Amino acid sequence: MIETKERASGPPTASGGIARGTSGRAAVQIAAAVAAVAVFSFAHPHAPTAAGEGGGKRGPAGEEKKREEEAKKAEAEAKKSGAGTAGKKEGEKSGGDEETVKRVVGTAFIPPRMQVTRESSAEKILTPEVRGMIDKALEFIKNAQHPNGSWGDAQFPESAGVTALCCLALMAEGSQPNCGRYGRELTAGLEFLLDHAKDDGQIAAKDTYRYGPMYDHAWATLCLLQAYGNMPWRTDMRDKAARAIQCLLRFQKVDGGWRYQMMKEGESDTLVTLNVLFALRLGIKSGFSIPQESLDKAVAFIKSNAIPDGRWYYKKGGPPGTVAISGCGVIAVYGSGDIKNPLVNAADEYILRYYQRLSPQDLADTPYAVYGTFYTSQAMYMGGDKYWVPWYEKVAKFLKTYQRENGDWEDQHGNSTYPTAVAAIVLQAPLGYLPLYLR
């Protein structure tokens, strides 16, 4: 390896020469790099032979050694010729605004190809049975789409939130707008969301959650950000995504969180706050400007609802929340970078024990059992395969038991579209297409 110092001026020209003002040391650097490439080109198994024929076989050892000697000789000649043109001592500035730039030049080492065996938990848990469940669920979602591109459910026939979840389920399969197995359905759903974005940033359709529109808006914002950059024909997408993010920030409450209504007054809850955090974090990854203070306040609010035994309060002053709320706590804290916080480990242990001790029937009797897996799945995934694999296998058995013949799942209120979308997202998590599942 050769350590050199060169002036900032005088880069190599496109024709391979050296621009005016280049120092002798720079000439040495360039000659050395060219010589190294010459040696590599000869030694590479696919390089042309000395006779100019197509590649394949390596040249004799003696010829290879000869080429190396020639490269060294060329380097020495370049050094000799460059000594008279340097004009100044090494490290000396030539005046003006020029600066001495220090670089390290070396020869690249390309290791030989080897057979690498890689074990993946996805190969283990995505069994043919699970893949069959996924296919049936996705076909149900496809067939449940309305002519205007939206999806709805028993309680909310035309909903931006349900539409967003269904779009996320299709993207979890690997489809993209106008591309992939469900590209057409996905595009229609995203177009519906964009067309229902209001001037104030809120995204809501005809039917919203009965307690307020924040659920729908947070899900829709997350969904559009997931597709951001993949719909170039929608030139209004950036503006509408930016307005949607500003709408979320505008209604952050004094305690740092969010709740159902679009208002700053009142108390927040852990679940809605986490849903908004999903969208804000993805907004940052998509290149939007989001104040760090807003994120810090939201995480601090969720941390304030933690219980040391691994449970989490849904709302201050109330009873401990369901296991899904513990999942929300893990996602919020882990996603902030505080991965060694003891609250994370306690909640992971609590969630896994909860699922291991309950039968599929017990889980089915739990309110919002399928919806809750959306949050606990991410918490378990973040904890590593120690938690993720046994959790996934148990939940897959539960979902298999209660998937209906047409591929859907139903909650206690007769809704079947959004629970099916959630189940499809969770079951497809090992595919790795959604950035919600990160370690």
Q: Residue 53, class by beta-carbon neighbours within 10 Å (0-12 exposed, 13-18 middle, 19+ buried)?
A: exposed
Torsions phi, psi of 216, nearest 5?
-60, -45
Per-residue model confidence (pLDDT) at position 208: 78
Domains and CATH numbers, the chain: 2-105 (no CATH), 127-431 (1.50.10.20)
Contacts of 181 (CB under 8 A, 6+ apart): 138, 173, 174, 175
Which stretches of 132-191 are assigned E, i.e. beta strand? none
Per-residue model confidence (pLDDT) at position 133: 98
Pairing, β 2-7 against β 100-105: antiparallel
Per-residue model confidence (pLDDT) at position 73: 74
Partnered with residue 5 across adjacent β-strands are: 102
Per-residue model confidence (pLDDT) at position 81: 54
3 state DSSP class of 142: helix
Helix (H) / strand (E) containing 25: helix 24-43
CA distance 264 to 272: 14
Contacts of 145 (CB under 8 A, 6+ apart): 151, 166, 185, 188, 189
**Looking up tokens 């650097």, which residue turns up?**
29
The segments of the chain whose pLDDT lies below 50 read 1-28, 30-60, 82-118
CA distance 134 to 145: 17
Tens digit of pLDDT for each residue in 324-351? Answer: 999 999 999 999 999 999 999 999 999 9
Report the 3 state secondary structure along the chain. CEEEEEECCCCECCCCCECCCCCHHHHHHHHHHHHHHHHHHHHCCCCCCCCCCCCCCCCCHHHHHHHHHHHHHHHHHHHHHHHCCCCCCCCCCCCCCCCEEEEEECCCCCCCCCCCCCCCHHHHHCCHHHHHHHHHHHHHHHHHCCCCCCECCCCCCCEHHHHHHHHHHHHHCCCECCECCCHHHHHHHHHHHHHCECCCCCECCCCCCCCCCHHHHHHHHHHHHHCCCCCCCCCCHHHHHHHHHHHHHHCCCCCCCECCCCCCCCCCEHHHHHHHHHHHHHHHHCCCCCCHHHHHHHHHHHHCCECCCCCEECCCCCCECCHHHHHHHHHHHHHCCCCCCHHHHHHHHHHHHHHHHCCHHHHHCCCCHHHHHHHHHHHHHHCCHHHHHHHHHHHHHHHHHHCCCCCCCCCCCCCCHHHHHHHHHHHCHHHCCCCCCCC
Per-residue model confidence (pLDDT) at position 229: 94
Per-residue model confidence (pLDDT) at position 105: 38
Partnered with residue 269 across adjacent β-strands are: 258
CA distance 92 to 72: 27
Per-residue model confidence (pLDDT) at position 52: 40
Handedness of CA 190, 192, 198, 202 (dihedral sign): negative
